[in-house]
Amino acid sequence: MPTVTIEPSGEVIYLEPDETVLSGLYKAGYAYTIGCRRGGCAICKVDCRAGEFHYNRPIADTVINETERADGTCLSCRAVPDGDITIEMRGENVRLVNPFLRQINEKARLRAEAKQAADAERLTSTTTKE
């Protein structure tokens, strides 16, 4: 389960596999300025400070040019993290608009931590048996 850490607040959002950054943030109860939600307007650009992502659909060079691609500019409505990433908003912060959805994100965090612990225990028991 990939995570998105939002700088400078440090808020961590848990995404489903193949979920976009924008979808995950909205699903967790957060909002910020967006436009078309289909990769054509470039309003939802954020800066990826750590981690890697790919786009679930082709993005036109008029939306994100080669320089922006190289410097970590991320079109959040189409970017799918390949693992954990850290993003920084441009000129604004995300706003918690639905505290109930934030609780669901917290439950996702607990599930992810429980899975990590179970995986670590399984690995330890396998190593011990050898």
pLDDT digits (tens, 9 = 90+) for 63-93: 888 898 888 899 999 999 999 999 998 877 7
Burial-class residue 20 by CB neighbours within 10 Å (0-12, 13-18, 19+).
buried
Q: How many residues does the chain have?
A: 130
Q: How many CB atoms lie within 10 A of CB 49?
A: 13
Mean pLDDT within 4-13: 89
pTM for the model stands at 0.75
**Element housing 120 (H / E):** helix 99-129
- Quick one: what percent of the chain has pLDDT higher than 90? 25
CATH number for the domain formed by residue range(s) 3-129: 3.10.20.30
The residue type at 107: K
Contact 39, 63 (CB under 8 A): yes
Mean pLDDT of the chain: 85
Q: Cis omega (within 30 of 0) on the bond before 17?
A: no
Whole-angstrom Cα distance, residue 47 to residue 11? 15
Distance of CA 72 to the CA centre of its chain: 14
